[in-house]
Amino acid sequence: MSTLQDSDLPAFFREADMESNAAQRATLRATQARLGGAVAAAVGGAFSLTLHQIDVWAWIALIGFLVALISELFLALATPEKRWYQARAGAESAKTLSWRFSVGADPFFLSLGDEAADSLFRQRVIQVARQVTDSVQLPKGDATAPSDGMIALRRSSLENRRVTYLRDRTRAQRDWYTDKAKFNRSRAVFWRVSLIAAEVIAVVLAAGRVFAGWEIDVAGILAALIGAGAAWLAVKQHSTLRAAYSLTAAELERQMVSVRSANSEATWAQSVADAEEAISREHTMWLASRGEVNEDVGRAQL
């Protein structure tokens, strides 16, 4: 039986995938530095300690503000977040096109013939590449060409294409979505509990100052921590992703029944197209949740 892994997809996909992963890491690290700097500045502003005529906590506050400022400027000027989203859109679009081509699904029907299908595939990938050209550059060489593995799978029997598609695409994606849904559920619970705990502590300390005359005052620090935690949750979107991933995993489970039962090239082409639509819808929802929707990229997948 054949296999088709990410390494077998066109060079454009691999370039977009690497660019998206690199931009994601840069975005998250810069966000962590910005929020961490703000918290450090709040801590430094709450205390005072002079050693050899140097106010140590004042320096900590200054460094915290500088880190936050530099991180904010990096996010604004280098726009890694935008590159992350655009490159991911390009990679996922190229991936679904590659699978549609490889198994003879709409619009790359086997009836088109090898030459026409190859030409149409290249056109669609180039169309995707043009829409994300600000974030992903086409690698040198024939970056939009279907690989030997894709062509070999396309030319194989319906049963071989079915087994490969179920194993390497729908089941792999379903498992990925299921695992990610579980991960995001646990992280959402962790952060919510942590924020609630911080808010309870803040209420207790504030009440102590009001009613018991406590002199301790860390309200600014706790406010900074709570604000940083809320901002981090807004970036990670654990609850939103949990719901979206769970829904897509369930949809793919249903689509697998249709893929298994397809007994002709016509029904097969449609069942695969429906499964790919389920994956594309999840990604479109992900982009929309982050304020990035590129309808032209979406149309190139069809």
Complete DSSP assignment for 207-249: HHHHHS------HHHHHHHHHHHHHHHHHH-HHHHHHHHHHHH
Q: Give the residues across from 50 on adjacent strands.
A: 55
SS3 4: coil
Q: What is the pLDDT of residue 125?
A: 94
Q: What is the pLDDT of residues 2-52, one digit of tens each?
A: 789 999 999 999 999 999 999 999 999 999 999 999 999 988 887 777 787
Model confidence band, residue 65 (pLDDT cutoffs 50, 70, 90): very high
Backbone angles phi, psi at 51, to 5 degrees: -130, 120
Q: What is the pLDDT of residue 193?
A: 93
CA distance 239 to 184: 7
Report the mean per-residue pLDDT for the chain. Answer: 88
Among the ranges given (123-132, 189-198, 215-224), the one the predictor scored with the smallest mean pLDDT:
215-224
- Ordered by start, the domain boundaries in the chain are 6-98+112-300
Q: What is the pLDDT of residue 217?
A: 65
Model confidence, pTM: 0.85
Query: Does residue 274 contact residue 258 with C-beta atoms inside 8 Å?
Result: yes
CA distance 169 to 182: 20
Q: Stretch 115-132: mean pLDDT, rounded? A: 94
Model confidence band, residue 279 (pLDDT cutoffs 50, 70, 90): confident
Q: What is the pLDDT of residues 173-216, one digit of tens each?
A: 999 999 999 999 999 999 999 999 988 988 888 888 777 766 66
Using the predicted structure, report yes or no on whether residue 288 has a pLDDT greater than 80.
no
Model confidence band, residue 218 (pLDDT cutoffs 50, 70, 90): confident
Complete DSSP assignment for 129-149: HHHTTTT-PPPSS-TTSPPHH
